[in-house]
Structure 1
Amino acid sequence: MLNYMAYLLVLLAAILWGTTGTAQSFFDGSAHPLSIGAFRLAIGGFSLLIFVLATKKLSVQTIPWPAALLSALSMALFQPLFFSSVQLTGIAIGTVVAIGSAPVLTGMIEWVALKKKPDRVWVIATMLALIGCVLLFANRGQQLVDPVGIAMALGAGFSFAVYALVSKTVLKSMETVSAVAVIFSLSACCLLPFLLFFDLSYVTVPGNLSILIYLGIGATSLSYILFSFGLKQIPSSSAVTLSLAEPLTAAILGVLVVGEVLSALSWSGVGLLLCGILVLTIGKRQRLTAPQGLN
């Protein structure tokens, strides 16, 4: 049951990530997505860092610095790569390639580098979820196949895959909250210089500030704590596949809150995404609870 709960924690984290687009739609005025990403990491990372320092839960001696730095760099690179790909290729293609490629890349890295061959449940669930993701964003947004944008989207997917894999090393050496605090504080330090190039006047608007705080605390620090707790107990490839619940949540909130309209094709994508998530969570649970002679 503990392992099954790990899947649910990762799924809940992805749902929180999926609220970011809806939350940003309530911004008063315009804000560059990269500046929002930098603020998210800074608020989420530094608030956690202050907490673990105040409660004396962080020991510098326990930090595996090479893995922590690589995890932080991967998360920092994901932000500009993803936002740049969306600008060059449009929201639909950029999102599908970046988020959709991450599970496949994670599985390939685990297979090649860690000698962990993907099992049948993961393959079926990932294929269902990827097809669903493509259908979800079909005919939405500008469809420009820009090679540079595609390359950046793949780079974003690779960055998230590396984060999911390398952060497991950090989590083995540190308590979860401390590990997330260190990784995201380091990642924020990488992105803060970008704030010098953007108009930040939108931060002074009271409503916008509250949204940024939610994005930093709820959709970043809390969500990645949940993701990390789950990641400790399940394969990275499975965790990244479950992260496809992010675009699913964003699409559903877009309909219910923002008033967007999904086509029948997009709704079929929603169904396939849900099927992929159910196959992964229920299928993995059955494998865990089945008698050894049946495996």
Structure 2
Amino acid sequence: MIIGIVAVSFSSIFIKWSAAPASVQGMYRLLFTSLLMLPFARPYSGAAFALRKKDWFMLGLSGTMLALHFLLWMGSLKYTSVASSTMIMALEPVFIMLGAYFLYKERTALSALLGMAIAIGGVLFIGWGDVGVSADNLKGDLLSIGGTAAVAVHMLIGQKLVVRMPSYLYSLIVFLSAVIVFAVYNFFMGVPFFNYPARDWGIFVLLAVVPTVFGHILFNWLLQYVSATTVSMNILGEPVGASILAYLLLGEQLSALQWAGGVLVMFGLAVYLYGGRKKAAKASATLQNVS
């Protein structure tokens, strides 16, 4: 878990270090990750042939949402600080909860709703603090909110698909779908595919290996040994780790309002995750009593 949190915390730093467009960084990050995954995909070929047309459509939609997430969130780092962007990104569970309520009518504990309200209040503090810095910072905050909404849709689609197919196969197909979306976007927007210095190519590889393989894929592997709630606590660790790294490696400073907003976001998310854990434990106990 610690290795995973440190790994994903480096994602924002690598993005800041590269001068390449966000759409190019996202495309090569997922392309190189897919190439690393392909040699281990053969055992899942049978499951791939068994997919229905509807499954392929939903996989493509999930990949599109993932590409949109990277486009908006990586783009936000061109305008605002690492701390502000990652603290807003930490609202992903809240967006997922809202989506699950409207799409699947899933109920949420009152304590989780309270945590959501506190976290949203923290985002407003961050935005207000960024207004005092520059209009560009606020633009970056809005892009990060859009990226968070997109990844929430991506996760909600995945929640329904992984019950019918191996998670490894799901990840690989979605990554490749997102690469195609990025390639089409870059082609029509006239974004160069290859004209980048060696430093940027090195960063593309680092984005694939460090935050993706040793971060997100490692978290998926951890689900075999610890609960999903425990793994989801990395949501709280990434903004803290990224902010520390941004201070040490990029010299970024935060205003008092931004710090206050960040503390509110982290506290709100802790309340939200605690409420979700209590609800899950209660549901488990009810099932055991029935059986």
Q: TM-score range by the shorter chain?
A: 0.7 to 0.9
What residue is the counterpart of 2:191 in the other structure? 198
Q: C-alpha separation between the residues in 2 aligned to 1:77 and 1:182? A: 16
Q: C-alpha separation between the residues in 2 aligned to 1:16 and 1:115? A: 35
Describe the shift of the 1:270–1:15 C-alpha distance in structure 2 as closer, same or farther (beyond 3 A). Answer: farther
Q: Given that residues 122 and 264 in structure 2 are in contact (C-alpha distance below 8 angstroms), is that contact kept between their aligned partners in structure 1?
A: yes
Q: C-alpha separation between the residues in 2 aligned to 1:194 and 1:145? A: 25
Number of aligned positions between the proteins? 272
Q: Structure 1: which 5+ residue stretches go unaligned?
A: 1-8
Q: Which amino acid in structure 1 is aligned with residue 248 of structure 2?
A: L
What residue is the counterpart of 1:273 in the other structure? 265
1:132 partner SS: helix
Q: C-alpha separation between the residues in 2 aligned to 1:269 and 1:198? A: 36
Q: C-alpha separation between the residues in 2 aligned to 1:14 and 1:62? A: 35
* 267-276 or 111-120, larger mean C-alpha shift: 267-276
Matches within 5 A, 1:127-142: 127-136=117-126, 138-140=128-130, 141-142=133-134
**74, 80, 100: which one aligns with 1:110:** 100
State the Cα deviation string for residues 139-168 of structure 1 (Å, max 9, x = none). 345326999x95x76653432121010011
Calculate the aligned-residue CA RMSD, in Å: 4.0
Are 1:260 and 2:252 matched, yes or no? Answer: yes
Describe the shift of the 1:146–1:273 C-alpha distance in structure 2 as closer, same or farther (beyond 3 A). Answer: closer
What residue is the counterpart of 1:214 in the other structure? 206
What residue is the counterpart of 1:188 in the other structure? 179
Q: Which amino acid in structure 1 is aligned with residue 202 of structure 2?
A: S
Q: Structure 2: which 5+ residue stretches go unaligned?
A: 287-291
Describe the shift of the 1:246–1:224 C-alpha distance in structure 2 as closer, same or farther (beyond 3 A). Answer: same
Q: Given that residues 86 and 238 in structure 2 are in contact (C-alpha distance below 8 angstroms), is that contact kept between their aligned partners in structure 1?
A: no
What residue is the counterpart of 2:16 in the other structure? 25
Describe the shift of the 1:13–1:170 C-alpha distance in structure 2 as closer, same or farther (beyond 3 A). Answer: farther
* 281-290 or 127-136, larger mean C-alpha shift: 281-290
Q: C-alpha separation between the residues in 1 aligned to 2:158 and 2:11? A: 23
**111, 119, 128: which one aligns with 1:121:** 111
Q: Structure 2 length normalisation: TM-score?
A: 0.72
Q: C-alpha separation between the residues in 1 aligned to 2:259 and 2:144? A: 24
Q: C-alpha separation between the residues in 1 aligned to 2:7 and 2:268? A: 19
In percent, how many aligned pairs have the same letter?
A: 19
What residue is the counterpart of 1:38 in the other structure? 27
What residue is the counterpart of 2:49 in the other structure? 61
Q: C-alpha separation between the residues in 2 aligned to 1:139 and 1:36? A: 28
Describe the shift of the 1:118–1:285 C-alpha distance in structure 2 as closer, same or farther (beyond 3 A). Answer: closer
Q: C-alpha separation between the residues in 2 aligned to 1:145 and 1:136? A: 10
Q: C-alpha separation between the residues in 1 aligned to 2:122 and 2:218? A: 24
Q: Given that residues 244 and 273 in structure 1 are in contact (C-alpha distance below 8 angstroms), is that contact kept between their aligned partners in structure 2?
A: no
Q: C-alpha separation between the residues in 2 aligned to 1:277 and 1:97? A: 10
Q: CA deviation at 1:231?
A: 8.3
Describe the shift of the 1:130–1:242 C-alpha distance in structure 2 as closer, same or farther (beyond 3 A). Answer: farther
Describe the shift of the 1:112–1:229 C-alpha distance in structure 2 as closer, same or farther (beyond 3 A). Answer: farther
